Amino acid sequence: KDFRNNVKPNWCPGCGDFSVQAAIQRAAANVGLTPEKLAVISGIGCSGRISGYINSYGLHGIHGRALPIAQGVKMANKDLTVIASGGDGDGFAIGMGHTIHAMRRNIDLTYIVMDNQIYGLTKGQTSPRSAAGFKTKSTPLGSIEQTLSPMQLAVTTGATFVAQSFSTDLKDLTAIIEAGINHKGFSLINVFSPCVTYNKVNTYDWFKENLTKLSTIEGYDPADRQGAMNTLMQHDDLVTGIIYQDTERPSYQELVEGYAQTPLSEAELDLGAEAFDQLVKEFM
């Protein structure tokens, strides 16, 4: 049950992504997985390296495309628990189309976004999560765009599990990832994971001052979609905890005939020349 490997992360000292890596490893062990039952698929960015730092199946994919790959893995092998991961630029800019459709499709996997409100790997440009007025080398006079709200978008797009956490809150983050893995459908977990090198605004101290735990809001009910939306708007999205969960809607694969039987990855395929020619003809 050991999800650690010998690869030393090359993140900057203090990067929030270290805690996310630890939380994934703990959560995977806590839910009883073994390394050969877990696949971690990542996109491109500092956070995209995470798939190489976890002892499991892994694939460091291409920019913004962690979700198409992860969904394919899950559909091909129902017996794998699949975690997709990446940064806010990866998932909420170039990959946003995939994120929206994965949320409405509801394939059973957990998508963890390490949200540092900046592009770190390319040395500090404004991302869709940067606040209006945010100054970087790509917006030296301050961003004139509004920040994107992935949590509000997820609630309205039909995601069945929407949660947010803070990388220093290892206990809560681990519990949320466990809940995401156990959720039967698509889970979006946005983690505030500070970039200590390039983002000098959204620092650890800034998050500590500005975040509200949903557990401190009396009567908060994650099954109440309208209430979730109202709370996000009231708090400018700066909340942590399970924001919304729909446990009723079936996952995509529950609706696919035959999925629950033999995994596609174990199906007997006739790959002879005749079968191949037939396949080519069908696609001509």
Q: Applying CB under 6 A, which residues contact ligand SF4?
A: 11-12, 15, 17, 46, 116, 120-121, 195-198
Query: Hey, how many other C-beta atoms are within 10 angstroms of the C-beta on 208?
Result: 11
Q: What whole-number distance in Å separates Cα of residue 42 and Cα of residue 111? A: 9
Q: Is the CB of 170 or the CB of 217 nearer to ligand SF4?
A: 170
With beta carbons less than 8 A apart as the criterion, state whether 75 and 81 touch. Answer: no
Q: Measured from the CB of residue 12, what is the shortest distance to ligand SF4 in angstroms?
A: 3
Q: Is the CB of 120 or the CB of 222 nearer to ligand SF4?
A: 120
Ordered alpha helix ranges (H), the chain: 17-30, 66-76, 88-89, 96-105, 150-157, 170-182, 204-210, 225-234, 273-283
Q: Measured from the CB of residue 114, what is the shortest distance to ligand SF4 in angstroms?
A: 8
Q: Measured from the CB of residue 250, what is the shortest distance to ligand SF4 in angstroms?
A: 37
* Sign, Cα dihedral of 15, 109, 62, 118: negative
Q: Measured from the CB of residue 200, what is the shortest distance to ligand SF4 in angstroms?
A: 11
Q: Measured from the CB of residue 198, what is the shortest distance to ligand SF4 in angstroms?
A: 6
Q: Is the CB of 162 or the CB of 195 nearer to ligand SF4?
A: 195
Q: Is the CB of 74 or the CB of 129 nearer to ligand SF4?
A: 129
With beta carbons less than 8 A apart as the criterion, state whether 44 and 142 touch. Answer: no
With beta carbons less than 8 A apart as the criterion, state whether 186 and 101 touch. Answer: no
Partners of 110 in the β-ladder: 83, 187
Q: What whole-number distance in Å separates Cα of residue 224 and Cα of residue 10? A: 41
Q: Is the CB of 17 or the CB of 108 nearer to ligand SF4?
A: 17
